[in-house]
Amino acid sequence: MAIAPNMTSVPSRAPAVVATGPVGSPLGTGRVRLTGGLLHDWQRRNRVATVPHVVREVRQAGNLDNFRRLQDPSVGDYRGRYPFLDTDVYKTLEGVAYELARDPADAEEAEALAVAREFYEESVALIERTQRADGYLGTFYQSPQSAKRPWQDLSWGHEMYNLGHLAQAAVAASRQLGDRRLLDVASRFADLVVERYGPDGEQAYCGHPEVEMALVELARETGDGRYLEQARLFVERRGAGTLEHTIFAADYFQDAVPLRELGSVTGHAVRMVYLAAGATDVALETGDDALVAHLEHLWDDMVARKSYLTGGIGSRHSDEAFGDRFELPAERAYAETCAAIGTVQWGWRLFLATGRADVLDHVERVLHNAYAVGLSEDGAAFFYDNPLQRRPDHEQRSGAEKDGEPLRRAWFGCPCCPPNVVRWMSELQDHLAVADDDSLTVALYASAAIDSPALGVDVTTDLPWDGRVTVRVRRAPDRPVTLALRIPAWADGATATVDGEPVAERPADGWLRLTRTWTPGRTVVLDLPMPVRAVTAHPHLDAARGTAAVLRGPLVYCVEQQDAAAPVDDLLLSPEDVARLAVDHDHPWRVLRGDLAVAPPTSDDPYPPLGATAPATHRAPVALVPYALWGNREVGAMRVFLRLS
Ligand SMILES: [Zn+2]
């Protein structure tokens, strides 16, 4: 299939991913608007708290000064250690472009948007002025003091990674604001890359995938097929072993074998899912069904054997990488926040390519757990790594958690995650629905006004707290149109009515498809049961077998020490106790309340004889909180997985 042909006619009104798959296309700017509920609250927090915070931190960290100093040497030396710090500016700009496209709801939002606008204008002007005449842009290597020359170190230089985030910011600014200044800059840089690394150029690629999906998006936005072809070349070339690898093996860069021969997701987790997202984009645009099928295989393997219960990925701290299959230690989970975002990006594209509801189930899990946990409740502190357990004597020296700062931090020396959180929060609405002329498919549930070509509907729901979803038709043609609603795998026994009458249709492949000649006012009510439930771990998942974890709907729960009247390590979980856990609907976090058996260790022997057990001695009241919200109060021990009784 060709580059989405409708793009050139509506350049400022297209969503993040516009390719047409079996279930249609995403809708576009202003076509889906969050109107209430959790995701709406998240987006407001992003606008009034996280964006101003990240803008302040980016300024203080010197990321803008790195551009400024190339015009004014008196600004000082390059700030920061890494060659990819320009991307913190680009990722923030991407999110800011979305925020500036929406009208402020009140004075607080207007004030925050003024901060965002000032950052936007200042940054765009600096970026335009800093680009070299040949199109190159990267403040690290442009510095006269740089010990390396541009393109000298493709393994660690991150130069095309920089281009990728620049291009994504540029596409967002063009689509959301109709501002093509960054698009011109990104296109010139991309032209240089095409000239240098095109079909007849150097057969090389960047150590950190990211530019692949950005080039596809740039192709969609500009209509220039060379960028799509360049993305395809980068995907196909990878695995030739051309990247120098002195610290980590070729595997780390997904450079040991071609993507099409990769048996399982491997290496640095963020690199892997960014590459897979880009490859899925290429496959969507080129109609490469074999590539889609292989990407499905990689996705399924990742979900089944290399993902935490939260949807987090990457268990190894040393190289931020996937471990072996079932190597998923809870307290040493790396599960970088950026890797969760990359998983959502890949999953969304794979859904577009396949229409698979179960892919969205996993995207939903990542969104509400592995991604959401990365940000504090006040919107101004971040996790880099996201463990599923914290021991009572935990020392703050693992992963990015150091310097004596507890839990989430305001910023990092390698601050990839915070601006990534910003841009993803701003784009949530683009991932709720897809449509074609004859159908509207609701992919993820949130209260929203949705305007597809055929149907205008208002979705109202309290998910993930409550499983009722109401879809009220606002606009419909005088002909049959299909409204497809995802029935998540966690919603066993889901029911639906239209205008109060039970529907005859049954869900198939995770979708309830209702074909009607709809009229304004008709209302579909979907009830997704959300009982408290528990899961155990696969017998090969050594780190968690013999334990169980509590879930409700898409949410994973955990116990923080302050909510348990016994050490969290001594709590036992039984099916009967899970069944008795009660949802506290008056609590904003919908905590689960109950009491659990307590079994303290009976000896200090770390390896008691086979057959020795620690019996339960008493029971203790406990409240479980959504994992995404842990660490927002007093710092203490935490567990997702509890011992089985
Ligand atoms: Zn990160």
Strand-strand pairing, 433-436 and 468-475: unpaired
What DSSP assignment string belongs to 145-199? T-SS-TTS-TTT--HHHHHHHHHHHHHHHHHHH---HHHHHHHHHHHHHHHHHST
More confident call, 395 vs 24: 24
What is the number of domains present in the chain? 3
Q: Which of 18-22, 46-50, 207-211 has the lowest mean pLDDT?
A: 18-22
pLDDT digits (tens, 9 = 90+) for 264-322: 999 999 999 999 999 999 999 999 999 999 999 999 999 999 999 999 999 999 999 99
CA 91 to ligand 1 center in whole angstroms: 12
The pLDDT, as a whole number, for residue 13 is: 36
Split at pLDDT 50, 70, 90, the class of 183 is very high
Task: Please state the pTM of the whole predicted model.
Answer: 0.96
517 and 541 housed in the same domain: no
244 and 275 housed in the same domain: yes
The pLDDT, as a whole number, for residue 11 is: 30
Indicate the average pLDDT of the chain.
94
- Within a domain: residue 6? no
CA 592 to ligand 1 center in whole angstroms: 31
478 and 353 housed in the same domain: no
Res 40 pLDDT > 80: yes
The pLDDT, as a whole number, for residue 397 is: 57
To the nearest whole percent, how much of the chain has pLDDT over 90? 91
116 and 82 housed in the same domain: yes
The pLDDT, as a whole number, for residue 2 is: 38
The pLDDT, as a whole number, for residue 84 is: 97
Burial 471-484 (b: 16+ CB within 10 A, else e): bebeebeeeebbbb
CATH code of residue 274: 1.50.10
Instruction: Mark residue 43 as left, alpha or beta (left: phi above 0; alpha: psi -120 to 50; beta: remaining).
Output: alpha
514 and 419 housed in the same domain: no
Tokens standing for 596? 């659990």
CATH code of residue 506: 2.60.40.1180
Beta bridge partners of 460: 470
Print the domain residue range for 99: 25-430
149 and 239 housed in the same domain: yes
CA 407 to ligand 1 center in whole angstroms: 15
503 and 393 housed in the same domain: no
- Within a domain: residue 1? no
**Three-state secondary-structure class, residue 626:** strand
Last residue of a domain, one of 395, 430, 465: 430
Q: Find the mean pLDDT for residues 549-558.
A: 98
463 and 589 housed in the same domain: no
Amino acid letter, 306 = K
CA 336 to ligand 1 center in whole angstroms: 6
CA 634 to ligand 1 center in whole angstroms: 25
- Within a domain: residue 402? yes
The pLDDT, as a whole number, for residue 395 is: 72
Beta bridge partners of 439: 436, 482
Res 15 pLDDT > 90: no
548 and 632 housed in the same domain: yes
594 and 472 housed in the same domain: no
pLDDT digits (tens, 9 = 90+) for 28-39: 888 999 999 999
Last residue of a domain, one of 483, 509, 527: 527
The pLDDT, as a whole number, for residue 406 is: 61
Q: Is the CB of residue 112 less than 8 Å from the CB of residue 51?
A: yes
CA 338 to ligand 1 center in whole angstroms: 4
- Within a domain: residue 7? no
- Within a domain: residue 13? no
The pLDDT, as a whole number, for residue 20 is: 59
CA 361 to ligand 1 center in whole angstroms: 23
The pLDDT, as a whole number, for residue 404 is: 52
Res 5 pLDDT > 90: no
CA 563 to ligand 1 center in whole angstroms: 30
Roughly what angle, to the nearest 10 degrees, separates helices 107-130 and 51-61? 40
Tokens standing for 196? 């240098």
173 and 140 housed in the same domain: yes
Burial 552-563 (b: 16+ CB within 10 A, else e): bbbbbbbbbbeb
Determine the Cα–Cα distance for residues 564 and 578; give it in Å rounded to an integer: 15
- Within a domain: residue 51? yes
The pLDDT, as a whole number, for residue 21 is: 66
CA 313 to ligand 1 center in whole angstroms: 12
The pLDDT, as a whole number, for residue 6 is: 30
Q: Find the mean pLDDT for residues 560-571.
A: 98
Split at pLDDT 50, 70, 90, the class of 246 is confident
- Within a domain: residue 34? yes
pLDDT digits (tens, 9 = 90+) for 449-479: 999 999 999 999 999 999 999 999 999 999 9
CA 416 to ligand 1 center in whole angstroms: 4
- Within a domain: residue 479? yes
Q: Is the CB of residue 511 less than 8 Å from the CB of residue 359?
A: no
391 and 464 housed in the same domain: no
CA 319 to ligand 1 center in whole angstroms: 13
Q: Find the mean pLDDT for residues 133-148.
A: 93
Res 125 pLDDT > 80: yes
pLDDT digits (tens, 9 = 90+) for 597-614: 999 999 999 999 999 888
Q: Find the mean pLDDT for residues 183-206.
A: 98
Amino acid letter, 238 = R
Backbone angles phi, psi at 596, to 5 degrees: -125, 155
Determine the Cα–Cα distance for residues 316 and 322; give it in Å rounded to an integer: 6
Last residue of a domain, one of 495, 527, 559: 527
pLDDT digits (tens, 9 = 90+) for 502-534: 999 999 999 999 999 999 999 999 999 999 999
